[in-house]
Amino acid sequence: MPKKIYILFASFFISCIIFFTALSTSNKSEKDVKTTQISLKDLVSNAAPNDTITLNGGYYPESGIEIYKPLTIIGKNDPVIDGQSKGKNIFLIKNDSVSLAGLTIKNVARHALWDNAAIRIDNSHQCKVLNCKFENAYFGIYLAKSSNCEVIGNKFQSQGSHESDAGNGIHLWKSGHIHIKDNVIKGHRDGIYLEFGKACMIENNWSENNIRYGLHFMFSDSCKYLNNHFEHNGAGVAVMYTHDIEMINNTFANNWGTAAYGLLLKDIHDSKIYGNQFVNNTVGIHSEGSIRIKVEHNNFIRNGWGARIFANSNDNFFGSNNFISNTFDIASNSRMNFNKFIGNYWSGYSGYDINLDGWGDVPYRPVRLFSLLASQQEPVMLLLHSIFIEFLDIAERIFPVLTPETLIDSKPSMKIIK
Amino acid sequence: MNLFIKILKYELNNIMRSKWVIAYFMFFLVITEVLFRFSGDSSRVLVGLMNIALLLIPLVSIIFGTIHFYNSREFMELLLAQPVKRNVLFSASWLGLVLPLSLAYVMGLALPFLLHGTSDFAPYLILLSSGVILSFIFVGLAFIIALKITEKSFGVGLAFIVWLFFGVIYDGLIMLIIWQFSDYPLEAFMIGISSLNPIDLCRITIMLKFDIAALMGYTGAIFEKFFGSLFGIGIAFSMLMAWILIPYLIAKRLFNKKDF
Question: Among the listed ranges A31-35, A36-40, A169-173, B45-49, which one has the minimum average pLDDT value?
Answer: A31-35
Pairs of residues, one from chain A and one from chain B, whose beta carbons lie less than 8 Å apart = 78
| Greater model confidence, B212 or A132 | A132
Q: What is the pLDDT of residues B157-205, one digit of tens each?
A: 999 999 999 999 999 999 999 889 888 888 888 888 988 999 999 998 8
Residue numbers in B near A305 (CB within 8 A): 215
Using 50, 70 and 90 to split pLDDT, how confident is the model at A26?
very low
pLDDT of A257 reads: 82
Per the CB < 8 Å rule, is A388 touching B212? no
Q: What is the per-residue burial (b if ≥16 Cβ within 10 Å, else e) of B157-192?
A: ebbeebbeebbbebbbebbeebeeeeeeebbeebbe
Could you read off the pLDDT of A386-411 as tens digits, one per residue? 888 888 888 888 888 888 888 899 99
The pLDDT assigned to B226 comes to 85
Say what the pLDDT of residue A403 is. 81
Whether pLDDT at A15 is above 70: no
Stretch B100-108: mean pLDDT:
93
- pLDDT at B216 > cutoff 60: yes
> Whose CA is closest to B40, among B105, B92, B112?
B112
pLDDT for position A35: 44
Q: Residues A290-293: contacts with CB within 8 Å, 24+ apart?
A: A290/A265, A290/A266, A290/A316, A291/A315, A291/A316, A292/A316, A293/A265, A293/A268, A293/A269, A293/A317
Under an 8 Å CB criterion, which residues of A touch B?
256-258, 260, 282, 304-305, 325, 327, 373, 377-391
Please answer yes or no on whether B215 and A305 come within 8 Å at the CB atom: yes
pLDDT band at A112 (very low <50, low <70, confident <90, very high): confident
Buried b (16+ CB within 10 A) or exposed e, A24-44: eeeeeeeeeeeeeeeebeebb
Confidence band (pLDDT; 50, 70, 90) for A247? Answer: very high
> Between A188 and B119, where is the model more confident?
A188
CB atoms within 10 A of CB A160: 19
What pLDDT was estimated at residue A12? 61
Q: Does A32 have pLDDT greater than 50?
A: no
**pLDDT score, position B12:** 85
| pLDDT surpasses 50 at A152 | yes
Contact flag B221-A379 (C-beta cutoff 8 Å): no
Task: Express each pLDDT in A348-363 by its tens digit.
Answer: 888 899 999 999 999 9
Closest CA to A347 of A282, A254, A412, A276: A412
Strands (E) across A78-183 are located at 80-82, 91-93, 98-101, 104-106, 117-122, 128-130, 133-135, 139-144, 150-152, 155-157, 170-173, 179-181
pLDDT confidence band for A13 (50 / 70 / 90): low
Chain B positions touching A254 (Cβ under 8 A) are none
Cβ distance B227 to B60 under 8 Å?
no
Q: B93 to chain A, minimum CA–CA distance in Å?
A: 31
Helix (H, G, I), strand (E, B) or coil at A112: coil
| Residue A9: pLDDT band with limits 50, 70, 90 | low
pLDDT of residue A30: 38
Give residue A239's identity as a one-letter amino acid code.
Answer: V
Do B219 and B187 form a contact (C-beta atoms < 8 A)? yes
Nearest to A387 among B167, B186, B217 (CB): B167
Which residue from B215, B221, B223 is facing A304, i.e. has the nearest CB?
B215
Contacts of A304 in chain B (CB under 8 A): 212, 214-215
Q: Of chain B residues 166-225, which have a CB less than 8 A from chain A?
A: 167-172, 174-175, 178-179, 182, 186-187, 190, 194, 200, 203-204, 207, 211-212, 214-221, 223
Angle between helices B230-257 and B198-208 (to 10 degrees): 150
Element (H, E) at B184: none
pLDDT of B150 higher than 80? yes
A58 pLDDT higher than 60:
yes
d(CA B258, CA B260): 6
CA distance B88 to chain A (A): 37
Q: How confident is the model at residue A416 (pLDDT cuts 50, 70, 90)?
A: very high
Query: Is A256 within 8 Å of B214 when comparing Cβ atoms?
Result: yes
Please judge whether A377 and B182 are an interchain contact, meaning their C-beta atoms are less than 8 angstroms apart. Answer: yes
Best mutation target, A254, A303, A387, to test chain B (most B CBs within 10 A): A387
pLDDT at residue A11, rounded to an integer: 62
The per-residue pLDDT for range A195-212, each reduced to its tens digit, is 999 999 999 999 999 999
Residue A31 pLDDT more than 70? no
Q: Is B46 on the interface with A (CB under 8 A)?
A: no
Calpha distance A71→A275 (Å, rounded): 41
Q: How far is B132 from chain A (nearest CA, A)?
A: 19
Q: Return the CATH superfamily for domain A99-398.
A: Single-stranded right-handed beta-helix, Pectin lyase-like (2.160.20.10)
What are the backbone dihedrals phi and psi of residue A54, each rounded to the nearest 5 degrees, phi first? -110, 120
- Nearest CB to A387; choose among B168, B207, B215: B168
Answer yes or no: are the C-beta atoms of A193 and A217 closer than 8 Å: yes
d(CA A25, CA A19) in angstroms, rounded, equals 10
Q: For residues A252-269, give the mean pLDDT.
A: 90
The confidence score (pLDDT) of residue B220 equals: 78
Tell me which of B237 and A378 has the higher pLDDT: B237
Could you tell me if A210 and A169 are in contact, meaning their C-beta atoms sit under 8 angstroms apart?
yes
Q: Are the beta carbons of A116 and A138 closer than 8 angstroms? A: yes
Q: Do B220 and A258 touch (CB under 8 A)?
A: yes
- pTM score, two decimals? 0.80
pLDDT of residue A68: 93
Contacts of A380 in chain B (CB under 8 A): 175, 178
| pLDDT at A170 (0 to 100) | 95
Under the banding of pLDDT at 50, 70 and 90, the label for residue A86 is: confident
Residues A319-336: tens digit of each pLDDT: 999 999 888 899 888 888
Compute CA distances A41 → A33, A60, A77, A277, B124, whole Å. Answer: 16, 10, 20, 46, 61
For residue A382, pLDDT beyond 90 = no
Asked if residue A8 has pLDDT above 70, the reply is: no
- Each domain of chain A, given as residue ranges in start order, spans 99-398
Q: At what angle do helices B187-196 and B217-228 cross, to 10 degrees?
A: 60
Comparison of pLDDT for A255 and A165, the residue scoring more: A255
pLDDT over threshold 60, residue A36: no
Q: Which of B139-143, B187-191, B233-237 has the largest mean confidence?
A: B139-143
Query: Which element (helix H / strand E) includes B169?
Result: none
Please answer yes or no on whether A378 and B50 come within 8 Å at the CB atom: no
Nearest residue, CB atoms, B217 vs list A373, A381, A386: A381
Instruction: Please give the backbone phi and psi of residue A137, each rounded to the nearest 5 degrees, phi first.
Output: -85, 150
Q: What is the pLDDT of residue B223?
A: 82
For residue B219, list chain A residues with Cβ-Cβ distance below 8 A.
378-379, 381-382
Rounded to a whole number of angstroms, the distance from the CA of B245 to the nearest CA of chain A is 25
Subunit contact B203:A325, Cβ cutoff 8 A: no
- Of A124, A65, A60, the residue nearest A97 (C-alpha): A124
Chain B hits for A327, Cβ within 8 Å: 212, 215
Q: Could you say which of A325, A381, A387 has the minimum Cβ distance to residue B215?
A: A381
**Residue closest to B128 by CA, chosen among B57, B63, B61, B191:** B57
- Which residues of A are less than 8 Å from B169 in CB distance? 388
